[in-house]
Structure 1
Amino acid sequence: MRRFVARMDMVFVATADRHGEADCSFRAGPAGFVTVLGPRSLVYPEYRGNGVMASLGNVVENGHVGLLFVDFFEATIGLHVNGRAAVCRADQVRDLEGAPPALLAAPGSAPGPGRGRAPELFVLVQVDEAYIHCGKHVPLLRRAGKDRDWGTDDPVRKGGDYFRAKREDRPWAPLVEPRTGAGA
């Protein structure tokens, strides 16, 4: 399982807030961006994304986390990892036993031309259980070339308003009445 995680370049992260409202997000990075620290712990960098902060917010409110690694390109098999997560700063990760220096400046994350920002936050996971995800319906995919801007903050390179939703009405959002009167 450790070798499997070390060669993965993507993971699906499931979290829930204090009320149990679920969220599932995708994370990617160079192979091994999720680092196994020991028999029951791993860590991954957290980059600034769409600004919603759902995953990190959920981890702070409710530390339960589910990670799903899927190998779409070789073995067509997956690995579930469930545990308790905590948000850590880079200096805290640097002090963890087994944290390789490369983790803090992973390929593609170190500052430089065409590279993104180094991660400032990490998610440390204490593993409760890990088990196989059956490959019966996992498709075998082929990689296509794509330039990646790891860690970029450029809105266009991050996908921009791909779904053209920025100016759409949001009927699901609660209406906020403007404050009037004293103290408004």
Structure 2
Amino acid sequence: MTLPPQSFGSAGEHRLQQQLGTAERAARFYDQQVRACLTPEMRDFIGRRTMVFLATADSRGECDASFRAGPPGFVHVLDDRTLAYPEFRGNGVLASAGNMLENPHLGMLFVDFTHHHVGLHVNGVARLYGDTDLRSFHPTLPADAAPGGRSPEMWVHLTVEEAYIHCSKYIPHLEPAPRPTGHDAARPKDAHYFTGLTTPHADEGPAVDTSEDPARAGALLPSRSNG
């Protein structure tokens, strides 16, 4: 039986492939689909995406899944081995970025829900940079990376190790729709949406910003002098 190339996939993958008799099929997938850098088609696909799903884990292997969104191409393709995306102020938890400080491995999943119904996995090693630090290496990054012209307070810089397709079989079709305007009185505020609360407790203080996990303060980041 042909063994899959050991440069791709985990030891657990290969062990299960042997147990379940899928090693030859997996070897074909690794050979035909998995790339160590981004192809031109992958780069174009990322450049048109408005969302990405993130997978991180801390040093103990405890996992977190998150989500980022922005205008098309908000995840910037710097070259065929490098991506970068901005982080902005959010709820202050910093779950994804905190995991990257402990364990730099980052998984990204880009999905086209509206046209070709296909996905792209990109896995690699992440480093956190302050806005000024990363621009010293990549001056072509846009200055207005966020709505309202806000400057990013942190960037996630990914060195690509592998990229491969997520097939279309179970990707649903979604129709883009305008964001509702006005206040929905029946909708709980974000800070209370999953808590069962309707108003903050008196000692709770003001409601927190529960937008996407952000980069909050450049002071948390050591200055980087190498790529």
| TM-score, with structure 2 as normaliser | 0.62
- Matching residue of 1:118: 151
Is there any run of 5+ residues in structure 1 with no aligned partner, and where? 111-116, 149-157, 168-184
- Matching residue of 1:135: 168
1:17-38 alpha-carbon deviations (Å, 9 max, x no partner): 0000000101111111100101
Shift of 1:47: 1.7
Shift of 1:107: 5.0
Higher helix proportion, which one?
2
| Cα separation, partners in 2 of 1:107 and 1:58, compared to 1, 3 Å | closer
Is there any run of 5+ residues in structure 2 with no aligned partner, and where? 1-41, 182-188, 201-227
Mapped partners of 2:95, 2:60: distance in 1: 13
Match of residue 33, structure 1, among 74, 84, 100: 74
1:127-176 alpha-carbon deviations (Å, 9 max, x no partner): 0000000111001110110179xxxxxxxxx8332213567xxxxxxxxx
Higher strand proportion, which one?
1
Mapped partners of 1:123, 1:107: distance in 2: 15
Mapped partners of 2:88, 2:48: distance in 1: 20
Size of the alignment, in residue pairs? 151
| Cα separation, partners in 2 of 1:132 and 1:120, compared to 1, 3 Å | same
Mapped partners of 1:101, 1:63: distance in 2: 22
Mapped partners of 1:79, 1:71: distance in 2: 9
Mapped partners of 1:41, 1:21: distance in 2: 26
| Comparing 47-56 and 70-79, the one that deviates more | 47-56
The answer on 1:4 being equivalent to 2:37 is no
- Matching residue of 1:100: 140
CA contact (8 A) 2:89 2:153 kept: no
| Cα separation, partners in 2 of 1:28 and 1:100, compared to 1, 3 Å | same
The answer on 1:161 being equivalent to 2:210 is no
1:24-66 alpha-carbon deviations (Å, 9 max, x no partner): 1011111111001011000000122232211000000000000
| TM-score, with structure 1 as normaliser | 0.76
Alignment root-mean-square deviation, CA: 2.1
CA contact (8 A) 1:109 1:119 kept: no
Q: What letter matches 2:190 in structure 1?
A: G
Mapped partners of 1:105, 1:165: distance in 2: 37
- Matching residue of 1:13: 54
SS in 2 for 1:95: helix
Mapped partners of 1:11, 1:138: distance in 2: 14
SS in 2 for 1:18: coil
Q: What letter matches 1:161 in structure 2?
A: H
- Matching residue of 1:152: none
CA contact (8 A) 2:131 2:152 kept: yes
SS in 2 for 1:160: helix
Moved over 3 A (4+): none
